[in-house]
Amino acid sequence: MNKNFINKKTSINVSGNLLDLSLPRVMGILNITNDSFYDGGKYNTDEKISQRAEQILSEGAAIIDVGAYSSRPGAINISEEEELSKLKNALSIIRKKFPEAIISVDTFRSSIAEYVVKEFDVSIINDISAGELDDKMFDVVAKLNVAYILMHMQGTPKNMQSNPQYDDLIKDIIKYFSAKIDKLNLLGVKDVIIDPGFGFGKTLDNNYELMQKLDAFKILQLPILVGISRKSMIYKYLDTKPAEALTGTIVLNTIALLNDANILRVHDVKEAVETIKIVEKIQVKV
């Protein structure tokens, strides 16, 4: 596909400022969960949260994505109160030390989205359920006028990997996104990022087909986020572990960039930033 054929949106409004996505950006993951598949329980003190935020920014990420609810397959549900309590603590630490940082919060709960935007100037809501798990989310995002990451997931974190089925993987997901985007547009939500949802209600083969055909999503004319960092599509295929999945992550991030990804959501920020630099160098016309 000719990369110039479709005029895709390449900037988003973050707290009144435009974030340019014509050059791909890195979103660094800060999980404050107890049971995430790779780093659950790792950032369980104020000092470790502060150090992780500093690492993410110093290594070149444009966005810190903070999550307090584990969305790994079979994840245990935690209460809204527990999720909010964890987020309040982490966001207080980050805002105090890095007042200008662009922060995204990974939540599907509209009440939490509203609180963190109002109290901590969170710029982006990253919703794995695309409003499916909270029917108030679209209205709240519209009212808050924040950027919104719209992710595709078949099922819920608890059952999404039971037996995912598609008639036509790419067409089904594009149709899903199109309907959601129409609803958001009607509500006046202007800054939407799409995330195809690698590992969320997809088989291993589904995930690789999704990566192979990622540029098909340019038809939606919106920025594309890819989150494959150390996921099972890498370590299960290679028969290793998440801790050994950095090489596979770099390879897939490279392919994603060549297929027009705008944001890489990663655990390993330095490596992702370097990947972007090299891919951009190759794509520059001499």
Write out the catalytic residue numbers: 231, 265
Burial label, 186 (beta-carbon count in 10 A; 0-12, 13-18, 19+): exposed
Closest CA to 72 of 247, 268, 263, 232: 232
Question: What is the token pair recorded at 151?
Answer: 């992710």
